[in-house]
A and B are shown apart, each in its own frame.
Chain A
Amino acid sequence: MTGEPVTLRVNGAERPVAAVAPWTTLLTVLRDEFGLTGAKRGCNQGVCGACTVTIDGEPVRSCLSLALNCADRDIVTVEGLVPAGAPAGALAPVQQALAEGNAVQCGFCTPGILISAHALLRRNAPLTVDEVRAGLSGNLCRCSGYKKIVEAVVSASEARP
């Protein structure tokens, strides 16, 4: 890869890349350089939402974020939803809610959904169905019809201490 070096902070770890071209997106670096393949390339146009990650706590499209523009930012992918130091195999509550709520079918949209849901859940109050529907409206799912996903996220928001 031609370009300039950059260090990205992903899931709490500083990860250097020797050379990144200006047009290379964060999604490409996550997948091809770091092997973090949780974020998916569904459309490469910012529509489907399968590539959603958080940058500085806010869900964004990694396919529309240029890697060089992401230096010094906190990037979290689905692989980073479980806090570092948690026991092996631990799941974040929202991951558990989706898994147990039959809200995962083919699973291709799931990482993006989880990131958007995770950002919603950082708010304190329990979430309403309509808040979750609005909050997930940038993540297309072609399998589930959304109902079980919305239910799972609402239940995760109610279960929090």
Chain B
Amino acid sequence: MEFVRPDSIEATVAALQADGAACLAGGATLVAMMNADLVAPHRLVSLRDVAALREAARQPDGTVVVGAMRRHRETAEETDLRDGQLVLSEAAAQIANPPVRNMGTIGGSCAFADPAADYPPALLAADARFSLIGAEGRRTVPAGDFFLDWYETALEPGELIESVVLPPAPARTVGSYTKLARVAGDFAIASVALVLGMDGRACIHLAVAVGACGPAPVRRRDVEADLIGGGLGDTEIRRLTDALAEAFDPVDDVRASADYRRRVAPRMVRQALVEAQQRISETP
């Protein structure tokens, strides 16, 4: 095993072209897996000195670019996120615990793609995109196309997550992230990320993604589109939760049964939508 610590994105990409190379971001997952003898990369490419990966910036149109090495604590406290984009900071604040949030990074977490992790549904609900860079150059992948299967992403070998890009959320949308876990800081039994905008009683923006209920976060844009423009009462919410539940493929694991996940996630979606509408109605 060799250890390299490049200081630029270009040098990082070059270092990643070797067989068996792996990025070392915060280490929260990779080192734990190395300690358990689950992985043994031939080359560790430390990203700690690549300054460009550590920044987050808000562009004039409200787009926020979050560098892959932004730590969870920084994202949880990110002041550049507004309105519905706050779904991301709410998710970040619920990852693990303070020391792990001081280490773990958004790029590292997304590259590992644990199906019960907090970022994937939040990014899906925020309509985020991944900016990836490899030997062939940069490409952009929408979050919905990034998380592919259990622990599998669209990242190609030799490719690096450079940043996560959150488009501006429409004004007055709210973002929320609700997580059910056995104890504080555990991975989710199920989680709900949503971005909602209402104009009076009419729904003008709706994005709901459910985590830990399948290999990748589940979202039903088709049904969301149908619901735009109308009210968001019991019937409409029911349409959405039924459609989401159809797309679930949860596991039975030590955290909960698949059956419970199927039953509880729609209840959580309903509750989250009711609370979000209340928040909007209470905001002057």
Chain A's nearest CB lies how many Å from the CB of B96? 7
Interface of A: prevailing SS: mixed
Which B-chain residue is minimally distant from A4 (CB atoms)? B3
Stretch of B30-38, B53-61, B123-131, B271-279 lying at the A interface: B30-38
Q: Number of B residues contacting the other chain (C-beta, 8 Å)?
A: 26
Given contacts A66-B44, A137-B185, A138-B99, contact A23 B28 (CB under 8 A): no
Which residues of A sit under 8 angstroms from B73, Cβ to Cβ?
Answer: 58
A64 is an interface residue with CB less than 8 A from chain B = yes
Chain B residues whose C-beta falls within 8 Å of the C-beta of A49 in the assembled complex: 97, 99
The reply to whether B32 and A64 contact each other, CB–CB distance below 8 Å, is yes
Pick from A22, A59, A63, A69: contact of B102, CB under 8 Å: A59
Using known A-B contacts A25-B35, A59-B102, determine if residue A66 contacts B27 with beta carbons closer than 8 Å. yes
Which A residues touch B1, using CB under 8 A?
Answer: 21-23
Judging by beta carbons under 8 Å apart, are B24 and A66 in contact? Answer: yes
Residues in B neighbouring A25, C-beta threshold 8 A: 31, 35
Contact between B97 and A137 (Cβ–Cβ < 8 Å)? yes
Q: Does A61 lie within 8 Å of B28, measured CB to CB? A: yes
A25 to B3, CA, bound (A): 13
Q: Which of B3, B44, B73, B185 has the most CB of A within 10 A?
A: B3
10 contacts between A and B (CB under 8 A): A45-B35, A46-B28, A61-B103, A65-B31, A68-B3, A68-B5, A69-B48, A119-B98, A137-B185, A138-B99
6 tightest Cβ-Cβ pairs between the two chains A and B: A138-B97, A22-B3, A58-B102, A64-B31, A59-B99, A22-B1
